[in-house]
Homo-oligomer: A and B are copies of this chain.
């Protein structure tokens, strides 16, 4: 994939893309979030080529995004389960899906994701300030170590 220059400005995006930048990654992940666990389930749901699927699942396991275990009651069956690290990709996936809904397909797209407690739709994913304001590009700033305020700073400033 090539090397990035400018080490200073390097963030963890390239590292994240190492795992998730592959073509089918997000779709397999979505299927896993929807409760699929087995090779044949992924294969028939997504229509992905078997060798590619095998390769992706192996990579997810390598990266600790999924866990692979063969079931004792039927030792042919292998279960692929999302790990904590895998589950942590939910906000990213929902953000990408919401963007697609708003800007690509245009439609609200059912089934829709709702809070299971009250069945009300979730909020749009957003970048939020510490006190919950929605921030856009203009409200953001890249800060170096010395330049970051924390709760203590704010308390001190108020004295």
Contacts and interface: CB of A to CB of B under 8 A. Distances in A.
Interface string A34-64: 1000000000111111000000000000001
Nearest to A29: B13
A159 interface: no
**Do most interface residues of chain A lie in helix, strand or loop, or is the interface mixed?**
mixed
Given A115-B130, A122-B135, A48 B2 contact: yes
Q: Most chain-B Cβ atoms within 10 A of its Cβ — which of A27, A49, A85?
A: A27
Interface in A83-115: 85, 87-105, 107, 109-115
A111 B143 contact: yes
B12 A154 contact: no
Copies of this chain in its oligomeric complex: 2
Interface string A139-150: 111111101111
A97 B12 contact: yes
Contacts of A71: none
B120 A149 contact: yes
A124 B113 CA distance: 20
Contact of A109 (B11, B88, B92): B11
Given A27-B17, A100-B13, A122 B112 contact: no
- List the 8 closest pairs (A to B, CB-CB), nearest first: A16-B100, A12-B100, A116-B141, A15-B104, A111-B142, A92-B95, A119-B149, A115-B129
13 contacts: A3-B47, A5-B46, A12-B97, A12-B101, A17-B26, A17-B27, A17-B96, A92-B96, A95-B125, A119-B147, A120-B150, A122-B135, A125-B126
